[in-house]
Structure 1
Amino acid sequence: MRSIFALLFILGLFKHAFSEEGYCSAPSGLSTEAKSKPLYWKVDNPTLSPVHLIDLPGFTRSVYKTTHALISPESHVYGPLPDWSDTTGAYLISPEMGSHFLMYLAKLKDNSRSGLPLPGVERFIFVLQGTVTITNATGVSQLLQVDSYAYFPPNFEHSIESDALGTIVVFERRYSPLANHIPEPLVGSTDKHPLLETPGEEVHYNQHGLLLLEGQGIYRLGDSWYPVQAGDVIWMAPFIPQWYAALGKTRTRYLIYKDANRSPL
């Protein structure tokens, strides 16, 4: 897949890009309580906020600056998604803040069905909770469970449906054509990829959209340092200094977007 998308899963300083072979994992060391709950339950259940401030009007860890943003779960605002049925969504990253892509959470209910992206827009989805069914224009369907993903090229007819509760994270952006290449749909799961170790990066030209899936730690963005945890979303502008340290006894894992496979011009 030579899409402009490069979606990665990160564990500590190890990375995997879907455009390459490899995936990283490690023993989780998860507590008994965590194992009894859905894998990504903390995405919608923040625990980092101080208990005595949870009900304080106006309290949030969210931060927006011209070079980066931290969007924490307590500030997610859900509403109807255009052209989606029985689905609510929370837009987390959008061009209004300076990005060239869109990132949002979609909560599907009974008999939910997606709408299509705008013309010329490619889409990537990752399943956080429940199961969803994706169907193409010819009627071929596939079932996606937690940790499964799908990529849809621009103008590719498809639907995303669910007959029960489910949550997905969606990335969309306008496709940038590549000479002599036609993008193709892609479906997969993170457990289908072997381990791959790659060096860490701190300053580079790519934009990022990140969803912390598990764990907690400290994230450096520019001259600021933020405590972060599962459920936090981060937008990073090009060339902003960035660095992450995982803390605690559980593994850290996150999903990150960056533009790739194209010239910055």
Structure 2
Amino acid sequence: MPPKYYAPKGGHPGQDQLLTDRAVFTEAYAVIPRGTMRDIVTSFLPHWSETRAWILARPLGGFAETFSQYIVEVSPGGGSDRPDTDPAAQSVIFVVEGEAALTFSGVTHRMEPGGYAYLPAGLDWSLKNTGAEAVRFHWVRKAYQAVDGIDAPEPFVTNETEIAPNPMPGTDGRWATTRFVDPEDLRHDMHVNIVTFEPGGVIPFMETHVMEHGLYVLEGKAVYRLNRDWVEVEAGDFMWLRAFCPQACYAGGPGRFRYLLYKDVNRHAPLQSPLRIG
């Protein structure tokens, strides 16, 4: 069946509603439920018109430090010819609702739901909403870590429907990853993938690793183990994990559980010893 994705619409709850929710921020992880993505917490972005953004993650000392992640909503006629003024920032765009025109290197690409674009640092690009409805997309940004002797990656545009998911070994297809970049391509220092669990699928051990994560639930629901806690998550929720946070999940159904996953990869751990700095 075709993919479907949850996208926030904003608004505000009524005065008669309880404030209790699943939002939590700990020393190891944060959960930002979809119910917190209201009008009052949106931001406007420089050089963007008819646009607002929910900023889900940004580098934060002592927590996750490598990336930012937004959900961007562009109304008809809006967009930007100067979307990012940071020349070191590389980007991934993933469209969850609506249509956009993404232009770089003299070519315009029509971005529909499931559309994925990798935009390397220093690329001159623009994005416009030329349709009649709002377009909503994830925008993941990371400062590119260049390595002597390794070329910078090239921009590309694709759609997740064009890429076959890669089943994890020994899972009978219950756990699969849609990879947009070859894991062995050392030009890339971040991956933004889609992870899919069929009902009953699990991560059968407590993953504990150096990669930071941003996980946005595109579809379904599950229980996720984060550090010492089990938390329930559903479509529209965002999880933000610092390095080495233990993690696992169980997808109980009734439908698929899918999320967009960021992680930093393929680089040496930076050494910031005072002896080296001095």
Q: Deviations over 1:210-251 (max 9, x none)?
A: 100000010110001100000000111111110011122111
SS in 2 for 1:247: coil
Q: Runs ≥4 in structure 1, deviation > 6 angstroms?
A: 51-54
Structure 2 gap ranges (5+):
170-202, 271-278
SS in 1 for 2:269: coil
The 1:117–1:67 alpha-carbon spacing in structure 2 relative to 1, beyond 3 Å, is farther
Which residue of structure 2 aligns with residue 166 of structure 1?
A: 135
d(CA) in 2 for partners of 1:184, 1:197: 26
- TM-score normalized by the length of structure 2: 0.74
d(CA) in 2 for partners of 1:227, 1:246: 10
SS in 1 for 2:251: strand
Aligned 1:74-113 pairs, distance under 5 A: 74-76=35-37, 77-96=41-60, 98-99=63-64, 100-113=66-79
Aligned 1:109-124 pairs, distance under 5 A: 109-114=75-80, 115-124=83-92
- Quote how far apart the aligned CAs of 1:79 are: 2.6
Contact map agreement 2:224 2:233 (CA 8 A) in 1: yes
- Quote how far apart the aligned CAs of 1:91 are: 0.4
SS in 1 for 2:73: strand
Contact map agreement 1:117 1:172 (CA 8 A) in 2: no
- TM-score normalized by the length of structure 1: 0.78
Which residue of structure 1 aligns with residue 190 of structure 2?
A: none
d(CA) in 1 for partners of 2:24, 2:90: 28
Looking at both structures, which has the greater relative contact order when contacts are Cα pairs under 8 Å and sequence separation is at least 6? Answer: 1
SS in 2 for 1:44: coil
d(CA) in 2 for partners of 1:228, 1:195: 22
Which residue of structure 2 aligns with residue 59 of structure 1?
A: 20
Larger radius of gyration: 2
Structure 1 gap ranges (5+):
1-26, 29-37
d(CA) in 2 for partners of 1:203, 1:96: 20
Deviates further, 195-204 or 61-70 = 195-204
| Structure 1 position 183 matched with structure 2 position 148 | no
The 1:117–1:172 alpha-carbon spacing in structure 2 relative to 1, beyond 3 Å, is farther
Identity fraction in percent: 30
d(CA) in 2 for partners of 1:247, 1:219: 11
Which residue of structure 2 aligns with residue 198 of structure 1?
A: 168
Which residue of structure 2 aligns with residue 126 of structure 1?
A: 94
Which residue of structure 1 aligns with residue 254 of structure 2?
A: 249
Letter in 1 for 2:73: K
The count of corresponding residues between Structure 1 and Structure 2 is: 223
- Quote how far apart the aligned CAs of 1:141 are: 0.5
| Structure 1 position 214 matched with structure 2 position 176 | no
SS in 2 for 1:79: coil
Q: Deviations over 1:189-215 (max 9, x none)?
A: 111112312255611110000100000
SS in 2 for 1:110: strand
Contact map agreement 1:130 1:146 (CA 8 A) in 2: yes
d(CA) in 2 for partners of 1:43, 1:113: 18
Letter in 1 for 2:7: V
- Quote how far apart the aligned CAs of 1:186 are: 1.5
Contact map agreement 1:116 1:157 (CA 8 A) in 2: no
d(CA) in 2 for partners of 1:193, 1:61: 34
Letter in 2 for 1:157: D
d(CA) in 2 for partners of 1:81, 1:146: 22
SS in 1 for 2:147: coil
d(CA) in 1 for partners of 2:262, 2:107: 28
